[in-house]
Structure 1
Amino acid sequence: MALQGVHHVAYRCKDTKETVEFYQQALGMEFMLAISEDRVPSTKEEDPYMHVFLDAGNGNVLAFFEIPNSPPMGRDMNTPAWVQHLAFKVENLDSLLAAKQHLEGMGLEVIGPTNHELFQSIYFNDPNGHRIELAANTSTPEMLRTLHAIAPQMLKDWTASKSTVHHAAWLHEKEFAQ
């Protein structure tokens, strides 16, 4: 099997119109298409839905489902809010700072920039409560080669101990020193 990329990523939304307008206004995504059915094609369940697709750039597609006959949207309360998120790449640090200013101008609370050494990022929530990250790469090829080389050992050590492994601690040393 040779994957050719991510076709789309789909999340649930509370209100399709509000969600589409948010992603258009906040992130400049183009509303590509909508599909609405009474039955789920894969399972044949009767469950009316609206499924919308937005262009996230470079062939990447973000999709949402509004499913009004299901219980109200929530999130897994056993997973911290910062864990599950959508991260989008921006061109550079200037673009990241301009995005932060734009989002704050829309009245959104924005965290960051946070320095992850490989990239810097900002965080905010969409109207559905989904956490969004915008990231500007700052890594060097050497950093990426180093991390790639130590990844198998990190996974092995984590699997054995289920406690923090420090092979890549240098990534956030500056951030935590502040």
Structure 2
Amino acid sequence: MTAVPTLERIHHVAYRCRDAKETVEWYSRVLGMRYTTAFAEDHVPSTGEFDPYMHVFLDCGGGNVVAFFELPNQPEMGKDPNTPAWVQHLAFKVADLDALLAAKAHIEAQGIEVLGPTYHGIFRSIYFFDPNGHRLELACDIGTPDQYAELAAVAPAMLHEWSETKRAPRHASWLHEDPAERGDS
């Protein structure tokens, strides 16, 4: 029997970009990421096929890296027409609500439209798009240890109910009640 791998963290996540230089500059300016590494090749190392690319890496903090490929010989970037734009996104954590609100102000000052903060029960977040059309999220945790424990406890039942009904289970109904809208916070 083989051993299940022991994962340490995400090494990097990779997305496509229209322009590597523009993408590096945008992520550095808007989100303060540090540009660390680039690889440019004419042949793909894993497959050997000819497909020139520029692969750039940006440090998000905490050992997390987001990377982008510019592929000049490929057709223009596209999206899955059957998946809504809000589904596929990359979320980054910020320290707290004050940091989230400061980030929103900074991003809006760059001329970028920002949605939120949105309440998600155990975190609040804002949403916006990068110059490549990728949806990004900044989130701050607001949950209590008891809330995280409750969610972990009901997760199996929620998944089972969803699997059977394809309807949103309400095992943790408090997740859907924003205390700010009730005047509680």
Computed over aligned residues only, the root mean square deviation of the Cα atoms, in angstroms, reads: 1.5
Residue identity opposite 2:93 in structure 1: K
How far 1:172 moved relative to its partner? 1.9
Tell me, yes or no, if structure 1 residue 166 matches structure 2 residue 167: no
> Between Structure 1 and Structure 2, how many residues are aligned?
178
TM-score normalised per structure 1: 0.96
Equivalence map 1:1-178=2 (5 Å): 1-174=5-178
Residue identity opposite 2:105 in structure 1: Q
Residue identity over aligned pairs, in percent, reads 61
Distance across 1 between alignment mates of 2:178 and 2:95 = 23
Distance across 2 between alignment mates of 1:81 and 1:92 = 26
Contact (CA 8 Å) 2:36, 2:57: kept in 1 or not? yes
Contact (CA 8 Å) 2:55, 2:69: kept in 1 or not? yes
List alignment gaps of at least 5 residues for structure 2: none
Q: Over residues 89-117 of structure 1, what are the superposed CA-to-partner deviations in whole Å (9 max), with x where a residue is unaligned?
A: 00111111110110010000000111112
Residue identity opposite 1:168 in structure 2: A
